Amino acid sequence: YLHGLFPALGQTFSEYQLSLISGLVIFTGLFIINWFGLKEGAILGYVLAAFSLIPLVVLTAAPFATGHVELANITGNWLPADWSWDAHHILILFGIFAIAQWSACGWETAAIYGPEYKNPAKDVPKALFACGIICLFSYVLVQTAVIGVLGVDGVAAEAVSPLIPVAQATFGQAGSVVTIIMLIAAMILIIQTAYLGSSRALHSMSTEGNLPRYLGKTNRHGTPFIALLVTAAFNMVLISLGSLAAILAAAAIGYTCANGISLFAYVRARKHPALAQLERPFKAPRGWKHVAMLFGLFNLPLCLVGVVYLNSLEIGWTSTWLGFIVLSLYIPVWLYSQHETRRRNNRELPTTIPSNSKPDDDAADLEKVPSL
């Protein structure tokens, strides 16, 4: 995008160098902004959303109004010419589902901030439905407009973004410049959403004993700054790999596993007597556990097998191994976290009970012992 907006950059930096510099600048800026709390991060999100969503709405609607959309480009290309419903193509279809949901289903991050909402019982579903409607608009109408203008072959042939030639066809050269600015703002918005959401998730897992305690440290503004630094460092490592396709493919594997595990955990929580009785500000209707089980099985194993198969065909096994290695790194981290939790609880346990204490006093003392 930057090379397209500023061609002179291509004479000074390679795409790899520019990626590293951009990543460093973006994560440094986001760290400084998010250091001051969730409110500042939300304000940045509003600004970026205005710069990305408003032009996107105009760019999506304009081709329909100007008559550039040819529905035959869509209705005549539902399936590839060589498509057949055999095991090979069905596995590819499941792999495409995995990659599609990785890019389209990210609005669950709105629930990460649930404990910090003023009224979680009402605000969580409002946030989820609002984000879902925006994503439904984006991933249906934008696709329709782009493929309707360019056709499937035109989209596949576009090296940077198919939105750029759509904007050029509708608004001329000025449309291309505005679109690139919009895409950069949208990209930073995606990074900010994932960056802030990931740090909050790491903080939550740390306080619950599922990650090392140092990830839960916060500054005076309540920001989990250690989690922010770790997330930024991890993303810089991914950028340094230099293979966008491998990163996206590995991320799709991780997201598919996370989706399946989360859905199965929800079903478990609704069925387990001790977990089902826990008080929660927001609870999905009782019948949703069956929906969760259905989509959990859809993710694991169907989409997981499909995305591994698709990756092996398209870009080799590197991305698959990268995805599973990153996931497997959590096992030793979790074991260490459990050891850390046990050690902390053992330090807090009373070593002796006074000999002159009464049975009732003993029970009262034991009630004060943190639960293991």
List the chain pLDDT tens, one digit each, 372 residues.
Answer: 787 778 888 888 888 899 899 999 999 999 999 999 888 888 888 898 888 888 888 888 999 999 999 999 999 888 888 899 999 999 999 999 998 888 777 777 788 877 778 888 889 889 888 888 888 888 888 999 999 999 999 998 887 788 889 988 888 888 888 888 888 888 898 888 889 888 988 998 898 889 999 999 999 988 999 999 999 999 998 888 877 777 888 888 989 998 999 999 999 999 888 888 888 877 788 889 999 999 999 999 999 999 999 988 988 888 788 888 888 988 999 999 999 988 888 887 665 555 554 444 444 443 444 443
Between the two ends of the chain, the Cα-to-Cα distance in Å is 52
Look-up of token digits 């529905």: 71
Measured between alpha carbons, how far is 176 from 276 in angstroms, rounded to an integer?
53
- HSE-up (13 A, CA, CB side) for residue 323: 24
Say if pTM beats, i.e. exceeds, 0.85: no
What is the DSSP annotation of 137-201? HIIIIIHHHHHHHHHHHHHHH-SS-THHHHHHHHH-HHHHHHHHHHHHHHHHHHHHHHHHHHHHH
C-alpha 104: how far from chain center: 9
Q: From the DSSP assignment, how many helices (H) and strands (E) are in the chain? A: 18, 0
Closest CA to 211 of 343, 38, 339, 346: 339
Dist CA 161 CA 183 (whole Å): 9
